[in-house]
Chains A and B, each alone.
Chain A
Amino acid sequence: MTSFTIPPTGLRFENIDKRYGGLYALRRVSFEIASGECAVLAGRNGSGKTTLLRIAGQIVRPTHGKLSFPGHTAGSDGNPRPGYVGHSTMVYDELSAEENLLLFAKLQKVESPAERAENLLREVGLFERRTSLVRTFSRGMRQRVAIARALIHRPSVLLLDEPATGLDPLGITWLANSLRELNRAGCTVVMSLHGESEISALATRAVRLDVGSVVADTKTGTSLREILTFGSA
């Protein structure tokens, strides 16, 4: 995962609103994540973390406001494509791990897609099971496929929505190590988390959301611990 240089890219939210009918899922969210940071989005369920990440991933359009990626030199596509790991695996159960990765590699015009898919499968530890259908995988293995899929095109920004859910301690350690390596290589990591863990320890920045608005930010002095454990039971 680290045999290449990642162009530095940050993430900037400017006055992001997201409205569903009369309900605001996000209200005037503005902050910036510098390139190379490992940022955590904290907050209770329903605070807007998933919505904000999906907007950052360009899966959802904000009602108002602007998303930009400072530092990204506009290539053929304008905005860069962040890697996105969501609540669902976003891969096909009826295809094998290998077939899934090949599909996404080819769609995104990755060079030597077969080779890239093979390398990623080895790195996430699924090479032996590469021809098995994803349907047969355990939760931890599915998470690995999801992460491999997100990384297939060597993104400079990686977004993860509660990536530790359903992972056993070994899985969490593996994830923490992988993210640390990626972040060291220059990938900007943004993830939503609940509470403290091995993974949250990687954070160089944290922002807390509540009812769709930013209520705390390590940039303005609140400690990481405070943000992660604020009012939590």
Chain B
Amino acid sequence: MSKRIALGFVAMLLVVASAYASFYIAPEERTMGLIQRIFYFHVACAWAGFTAFFLCFIGNLMYVWKRQQKYDWLGVSGGEVGLAFTTVVLITGPIWAHPVWGIWWTWDARLTSTFVLWLLYVSYLLLRTLVEEPDRRALLSSLFGIFAFIDVPLVFGAIRWWRTQHPQPVIMGGQGSGLDPTMKMVFFFSAFAMHVLMVFLLAERYSLEKLQTETDFLAHEVEAQ
């Protein structure tokens, strides 16, 4: 318990530090000005979200193989936390796009793919609410989770190819734009901070799910007497 509190505290510190770094340490970007600083936050969240989904995928695979509840807890935690970070990515994208391009959404390849990713994991969580029996819920959602995660590279690939057919404005400067060394440092620090935050949130969600399941089980045992 105290380990988790410590982790939360550290995560908070790191996030605040990275925010400071984003605003005061990173140099100003030539063309876009102040709004560009949201990049450190936006992309860091995307990476953290993706790692969370990857952990969800691991949980899914392990559950199908071992059928131990703890893997289902990992799955739902990874899914929810990943979805939270991905939501932030989808919100900060337009916040950046509007001052720069004057439009809220551009069907930019990465943002669009992220949106589909978001939809996939919303479906994952929705599926969970629609299956009552816990073991069935764990198995079915794990199987869908596996399909969904395997789909992710295909989604990103397909949409990127689609955009090469109809080029659109690219959010965040695209692949080619090199990063100044200080910017790189700030970025990796932000990404690290977001990952620590992600792990903290995941651990919290995991223990919540664990507690819920154990309570339900005890309640049933009592009833059966």
Q: Which residues of A contact B (CB under 8 A)?
A: 19-24
Contacts and interface: CB of A to CB of B under 8 A. Distances in A.
A23 B224 contact: yes
Nearest to A63: B135
A21 B216 contact: yes
A20 B217 CA distance: 11
A20 B133 contact: yes
Interface of B: 132-135, 216-217, 219-221, 224
Contacts, number: 18
18 contacts: A19-B135, A20-B133, A20-B135, A21-B132, A21-B133, A21-B134, A21-B135, A21-B216, A21-B220, A22-B134, A22-B216, A22-B217, A22-B219, A22-B220, A22-B221, A23-B220, A23-B224, A24-B224
Contacts of A22: 134, 216-217, 219-221
Contacts of A21: 132-135, 216, 220
Contacts of A20: 133, 135
A21 B217 CA distance: 8
Main secondary structure of the interface of A (DSSP, over half): strand
Contacts of B133: 20-21
B64 to A, nearest CB: 13
Nearest to B216: A22
A24 B217 CA distance: 11
A23 B133 CA distance: 10
A52 B224 CA distance: 19
Given A21-B220, A22-B219, 5 more contacts: A20-B133, A20-B135, A21-B135, A22-B217, A24-B224
Nearest to B134: A21
Determine which residue in A20, A21, A22, A23 has the highest number of CB atoms from chain B within 10 A of its CB, and name it: A22
A205 B216 CA distance: 39
A22 B224 CA distance: 10
A23 B224 CA distance: 8
Contacts of A24: 224
A84 B26 CA distance: 71
A76 B224 CA distance: 43
The 5 closest A-B pairs by CB, nearest first: A22-B220, A21-B134, A22-B217, A21-B133, A20-B133
Contacts of B219: 22
Nearest to A20: B133
A24 to B, nearest CB: 7
A174 B220 CA distance: 44
B48 to A, nearest CB: 33
A152 to B, nearest CB: 31
A206 to B, nearest CB: 26
A21 B212 CA distance: 12
A23 B220 CA distance: 7
A92 B135 CA distance: 29
Nearest to A22: B220
Nearest to A212: B224
B219 to A, nearest CB: 7
Contacts of A19: 135
A89 B190 CA distance: 62
B160 to A, nearest CB: 42
A19 B217 CA distance: 11
Nearest to B220: A22
Contacts of B224: 23-24
B218 to A, nearest CB: 8
Nearest to A23: B220
Determine which residue in A19, A20, A21, A23 has the highest number of CB atoms from chain B within 10 A of its CB, and name it: A21
Nearest to A21: B134
Nearest to B221: A22
A20 B139 CA distance: 13
Contacts of B132: 21
B220 to A, nearest CB: 3
B158 to A, nearest CB: 37
A189 to B, nearest CB: 31
A80 B106 CA distance: 60
B139 to A, nearest CB: 11
